[in-house]
Each structure stands twice: as structure tokens, then as C-alpha cells.
Structure 1
Amino acid sequence: MPLKLPHETAMGREDFLRGPSNAAALDMIDLWPDWPSLWLLLAGPVGAGKSHLARIWAAKSNARVITLEELNRSDPTALVDCGAVVLEDADGWERDDVALFHLLNAAREARAYVLITARNWPDGWGVALPDLMSRLRLTTPLEIYEPDDELLRSVLVKLFADRQLDPDPSVIEYIVLRMERSIAAALRVVEAVDREALARRRTITRPFVASVMKELDEGLL
């Protein structure tokens, strides 16, 4: 039985793979501190690279990265005292609208930068506090999209490399042509291939990958 050893995903600026789907978002992160406004809202699907971009900006701006849980139980003034804050997954069910409203008010008073990530735009969050919606409309909207085939190839190579794996290019091409068009799907495929290769003591070949992807599609993995 293979051990579930952790692997570390490279999250630096040099590790982010640029493509048509994310170029505008990456350019805006690189543009800081010359943003159109102090607050930026980055929306996009799961696994598209929002968290990676947020970590790039946090390293650049020395921002504090917080979750909704931390937001809900923390003093908003203390959260913005470093001058920059990342709030991840702001459209999550555990969001406290009042807490987010107070965070943005504290950021406005402190002239602090705020980067918010979410899967969709605030109109779809179910925000019940009109004053919060008015604050969210002050953010600069930025969208990141699903990747094209060229970017997916690069992402797959990177994901395998994060696990110290180097499959043949024909394996990468096979996956790209048959997988769902998303980075989240790439993550699932690479994780399953790595896990099953260890468990079955198999090398990562096209026939092996084909069998793993078939089992994924059938819900067997």
C-alpha cells in the first residue's frame, strides 16, 4: 500500500503559466500597486488559478491571506493593518455579510489594498446587505477563464512535475484530447494517475492512463 506523502505545489510567480485565459488577470497582478482602484475582485471557475494569483500578489504586497472563517471571527481593523489583504472564496456559504462589510470599511479607512477571489460575481452570492453590495461595486472586476489546449498541456506537465513525474509527451497529449476542459479536471486526472500508478506499481503509459481516465469517468475512482 503506497503511503500518502504530501507533495508541494509550486506557487511562485515563475511557476504561473500564462495563457489567453489568464493573461489579463496576471497583468493586473503584475501592475500592482498601480491598480485602477484599491480593491480587486478576481472571479473564475474552480482550479483556474485564482489562488495561485492571490499568492503571487500576497508575496509581492506582503498581504495577509485570510479565509471566511478568519474574517468572521477577527477584528477588521487588525486584518488591514498591514496595508493589504487577500480574502479567498468570498462567495462561500460561511460568509458573514456584516463581517465583509466591516472589512471593506476598515480597508477604506486605512487605504488598504484588498484582493477578493470568488467563483462568480457578487450578484450571484445571495448578498442580503445592500450596503455590502454597494462596497463590492467599488472593486475592480477581473475574470480568469478556463484554459485552452496549449495552456492545459503546460499545466499537466507542471502538475506531474510537482509530483516528481515526467511522463512521455504522448501521454500529455492523450490526456489533453480526452479530458474535461478545466484545470480542476487536470488536477483530478494527475492525482488519480499518480495514486493508481503507485498502488498498482505501474509506469505511466498511454494504456495505463486510458484505464485510469475510464475509471474516473465511470465513478470507480
Structure 2
Amino acid sequence: MGSAKFNDQMPLHLPHEAAMGREDFLRGPSNQAAFDMIDLWPNWPASWVLLAGPVGAGKSHLAKIWQEMSGAQIVTIDALNRSDPTSLVSAGAVIIEDADCPGRDDTALFHLLNAAREARAFVLITARNWPESWGVTLPDLMSRLRLTTPVEIFEPDDELLRSVLVKLFADRQLMPDPSVIEYILMRMERSIGAALKIVEAVDRQALAQHRTITRPFVAMIIKALSEEAEGSTGDL
């Protein structure tokens, strides 16, 4: 048997819209504290909250929920670097997404937090890691970041991962047999990021190959992803 390979004839990638409402957020022990903090607003212990967790853990979903609650403006690092900080906090609430990503201007973030303090605005910051690992070069910024309330999202347990897999397929109007979900669950890396990658690959290849999503088909996808990660196959 040769290496498992993906179909090179990819179909047109059709975007899907993930359900991002409060009722769509899947809760478990790994993310309950973060959900509770968002739900606690406006009675936060401090005006600024820093939400840290791995890729795909639900930070953006929680930010969207809080945006609906607070009317906050969502600001990317690129927008932060080129915008007037006073205008960014004018709504009384602001979300800084992926604050630890490359390209962050420490001075711009420092000025935004100062503007938020003067305007008594709420701030939600999302990141993969805590500020100590961001490579912050501005001591005054680190002092401001220490004023945030830290909340962590952890890797999910099996029950939450199972629910996430079902939701990710449902977001794509797919409903695999429960045995397929269990097959993936038993063989995947224990992270929501891995679930996202597997479901995306299954969806695309099912379209490309006009295949039903069965356990043998999923096994082929998982094998190909594993081989790709080891560098033994071509690009996805």
C-alpha cells in the first residue's frame, strides 16, 4: 500500500458560516471559567480582561458573544497599529484580538490602554499565551498588561471535543454517523485546532472525490494529514 494522498483536483472552496451566538458556544471544564467571565460583564473584577488559550479554543467566539453584549469594537493588530486610540475606545468597549501575533506595535497598544483608562472603557484582549512570552519591549506596556484580569482556556476533554466535532460538521451542513465522530475522536490530537483541521480536510476531500463520509474515508484523511505533518507527502 502506498502513502495516502489527497485529491489534487480540489473543488471551489465554498465558505461556510460558523454559528457564533451565545447559545452556540459549547461549554466544558476547559472553558467554563472563560465563559463565566464573559457572562459576568459588566461586573468584571477589573475593566480589562486578558483571555488566553490555544488556537481554535473559542477565544474569537467568546469575543463575538461579548461584542453582542457590550457593543465593543473588534480591533485587529493591523488596525491597532494605524488607528487613533481615542476613536477605538469611543464605544466604551474594545476587543483586541490575537495580541501576541507578529507585527504588534507595543507603543500603539500602550496608547490604546491609556485611552481606555481615561475613557473608563472595557477592554477584552485575546492571545495564545500570557504577555511574558510576547516579547514586549516596552516596560510601561507590561505594567498595563499586569492590570488585566487573566482567564485561561485549556485544551478540551473528550466530551467537549465530541461536541465540537459535531458542531464543526453541522456548520458545513454535514451530519456524519456517530460512529464516524467516535472514530475521529479516538485517533485525533486532543485539541480543537486538530478538530478544525480534520473536519476541513474531510469536507474538502468529500467534495473533491464525491465521497460519503464513512470511517474508511475518514481513516484515509487522518492518515494523509499525519503523513503530511511528518513531511512524507505533498501539500494539502
TM range (shorter): over 0.9
**1:136 corresponds to which residue?**
145
In structure 2, how many angstroms separate the alpha carbons of the residues matched to 1:4 and 1:100?
Answer: 35
Secondary structure at the aligned position of 1:46 is classed as: coil
The match for 2:70 is: 61
The amino acid of 2:88's aligned partner reads L
* TM norm structure 1: 0.99
1:36 alignment counterpart: 45
Name the Cα RMSD after superposition: 0.7
* CA distance in structure 2 between the partners assigned to 1:117 and 1:200 by the alignment: 38
Separation in structure 2 between the aligned mates of residue 30 and residue 204 of structure 1, nearest angstrom: 37
Deviation at 1:160, TM superposition (A): 0.1
Alpha-carbon distance in structure 1 between the residues aligned to 2:176 and 2:14: 20
State the partner residue of 2:223.
Answer: 214
Aligned to 1:90: 99
Q: Secondary structure at the match of 1:218?
A: helix
Gaps of 5+ in 1: none
Unaligned runs of 5+ in 2: 1-8
**Identical-pair percentage:** 77
Aligned to 1:80: 89
Counterpart position of 2:17: 8
Cα distance in 2 between the residues matched to 1:92 and 1:193: 28
The answer for the alignment partner of 2:3 in structure 1 is none
The one of 174, 193, 212 equivalent to 1:203 is 212
Deviation, 1:92, is 1.1
Runs of 4+ residues over 4 Å off in structure 1: none
Paired positions, count: 221
1:163-183 deviations in Å (ceiling 9; x for gaps): 000000000000001000100
Q: Distance in 2 between matches of 1:143 and 1:75?
A: 29
**Corresponding position of 1:26:** 35
Aligned letter for 2:16?
H
TM-aligned CA deviation for residue 3 of structure 1: 2.3
Q: Partner letter of residue 183 of structure 1?
A: I
CA deviations on 1:57-107 (whole Å, 9 max, x unpaired) are 011100000100000000000000100000000011110000000000000
Q: Partner residue of 1:125?
A: 134
Correspondent of 1:146 among 149, 155, 172? 155
